[in-house]
Amino acid sequence: MKKLQWGMIGGGEGSQIGPAHRLGAGLDGLFEFTAGALDHRPEEGIGYGRSLGLGDRAYGSWQDMLAGEKAQDNPIDLVTVATPNSTHFEITKAFLEGGFHVLCEKPMTMTVEEGEEIVKIARTTGKICAVNYGYSGYSLVRHMKAMIARGDLGKIRLVNAEFAHGHHADAADAENPRVRWRYDPAQAGVSAQFADCGIHALHMASFVTGQDVTKLSADTVSCIDVRVLEDDAMVNFRMDGGAVGRLWTSSIAIGRQHGLGIQVFGEKGGLRWSQEHPNQLYYMPLGERLQIIERGEANLSPEADRTSRVTIGHAEGMPLAFANIYTDLAEAIRARKENRSIDPAADLYPRAEDGLRSMAAVFAVAQSGKEYGLWYDARPPMFR
């Protein structure tokens, strides 16, 4: 089977998320890294791209890359947008309109209106627009979703999600330009910590339960007082299948590293999973004993089997979760090329609609936070 061709915008040398994408896209041998505009500095982008083997398909800007790939006989099949947030909209829009499938980093856009536009463009062009809620690619997260969908927990009563870290807890470092911009509305938009990390937890809550968030109430606070935007938020929400939601996100939680976790409680049992220990899922059936489900165990769901690679007991981590998003996308692209239906266990990659729902939640959190927790509709206008 011929490899699909993959391109990347952003993710230059020293970037935070670029290497995880390159690992993820390359892991299963489904994509070949073919083209890139990797840096906002053209020379550095071309130089780094060439050092990674891109040859004359290392471009100095995304505009050059769009023009160059459109002119290719065999252009890229998928482009990943891993640039800073404020550029996602125009790059994603241009590539979708140029006829390319896109995987965009989160947050997909800076406003709800832009998010709605991206959803509409993806629908009218028929191109895939995925959003990198990469943690939804973990095998046991897929298994959690499958267990909930098949009714193992019964009706879902409560979801408790969190994403807490302590990497911006040092008040003495708050004015460091590399940290400060994140809490400056002129550069970060209406929300800092919720838009950066909270949306991962909120997406996770929707992903595993299969329910969308309808309304929310937020308590947002800047624990370090030179900050305009929040570094901590507690959000209560409601979901369209009747579940009650609680979400805590923080960047001042000293001692927490990458504390993304989720607990789901239904009428018949509870599940608990955390990103720092992704190879175990805790399952408590009502009235029985606590069970630890290990990634790679026999007799899990097709969704879990498909996304697990190494044998039980050997840890799989974050780049492999990203790889599962790429494997889903490869299957989606191939199914289109071959004019066949997609494997349902692969049809789980996060979409533009998820990116849009997150933006609506971000704005609802920001507004509610200003109004001491007033409840707001968290749905994008086009889904009301």
Should residue 303 be labelled a site residue for ligand NAI when binding is judged by CB under 6 A?
no
Collect all residues with Cβ–Cβ distance below 8 Å to 161 and sequence separation of at least 6: 201, 202, 204, 205, 245, 246, 247, 248, 261, 262, 263
Q: Count residues binding ligand NAI (CB under 6 A).
A: 22
Is residue 82 within the footprint of ligand NAI (CB under 6 A)?
yes
Question: How far apart, in whole angstroms, are the C-alpha atoms of residue 60 and residue 43?
Answer: 6
d(CA 102, CA 111): 19
Residue nearest ligand NAI, Cβ-based: 12
Cβ atoms within 10 Å of 270's Cβ, excluding its own: 18
Residue 85 binds ligand NAI (CB under 6 A): yes
Minimum distance from residue 104 beta carbon to ligand NAI (Å): 8
Q: How far is the CB of 332 from ligand NAI (least distance, A)?
A: 19
Our finding on whether 17 is near ligand NAI (CB under 6 A) is yes
Closest separation between CB of residue 290 and ligand NAI, Å?
30
* 193 touches ligand NAI by CB under 6 A: no
Q: What angle (nearest 5°) sits at the alpha carbon of residue 202, between those of residues 296 and 237?
A: 130
Residue selected from 4, 30, 37, 156 as contacting ligand NAI according to rule CB under 6 A: 37
Binding-site member from 26, 32, 40, 212 for ligand NAI (CB under 6 A) = 40
Residue 382 is classified by DSSP as G
Amino acid of residue 181: W
By beta-carbon proximity to ligand NAI, the closer residue of 19 and 154 is 19
In this structure, which long-range contacts are made by residues 380-384, counting pairs with CB atoms below 8 Å and at least 24 apart in sequence?
A: 380/112, 380/115, 380/116, 380/356, 381/112, 381/116, 382/116, 382/119, 382/356, 383/212, 383/353, 383/356, 383/357
Residue 289: count of CB within 10 angstroms of its CB: 6
Q: Choose, by CB under 6 A, the member of 22, 57, 93, 106 that binds ligand NAI.
A: 106
Q: What is 199-246 written as a DSSP string? A: HHHHHHHHHHHT--EEEEEEEEE-SSTT-SS-SEEEEEEEETTS-EEE
Select the residue interacting with ligand NAI from 5, 80, 132, 279 (CB under 6 A).
132
Say if CB 207 and CB 133 are below 8 A apart. Answer: yes
Q: Determine if 19 is a binding residue for ligand NAI (CB under 6 A).
A: no
DSSP-assigned beta bridge partners for residue 377 = 215
Does residue number 62 form part of the binding site for ligand NAI (CB under 6 A)? yes
| Of residues 8 and 300, the one with the C-beta less far from ligand NAI | 8
Q: Which is nearer to ligand NAI, 319 or 380 (CB)?
A: 319
> Shortest approach of ligand NAI to residue 196 CB, angstroms?
6
Which tokens in the block code for residue 285? Answer: 């059936």
Stretch that binds ligand NAI, among 13-21, 158-166, 186-194, 279-287 (CB under 6 A): 13-21
Should residue 105 be labelled a site residue for ligand NAI when binding is judged by CB under 6 A? Answer: yes
Angle, helices 199-209 vs 139-149, to 10°: value is 40
Contact call for residue 39 and ligand NAI (CB under 6 A)? yes
Q: Which one of the spans 9-17, 69-77, 269-277, 324-332 is the region binding ligand NAI (CB under 6 A)?
A: 9-17
* Whether 153 contacts 271, CB under 8 Å: yes
CB of 309 to ligand NAI, least distance (A): 20
- Which residues here bind ligand NAI, judged by CB under 6 A? 9-12, 15-18, 37-40, 62, 82-85, 87, 105-106, 132, 134
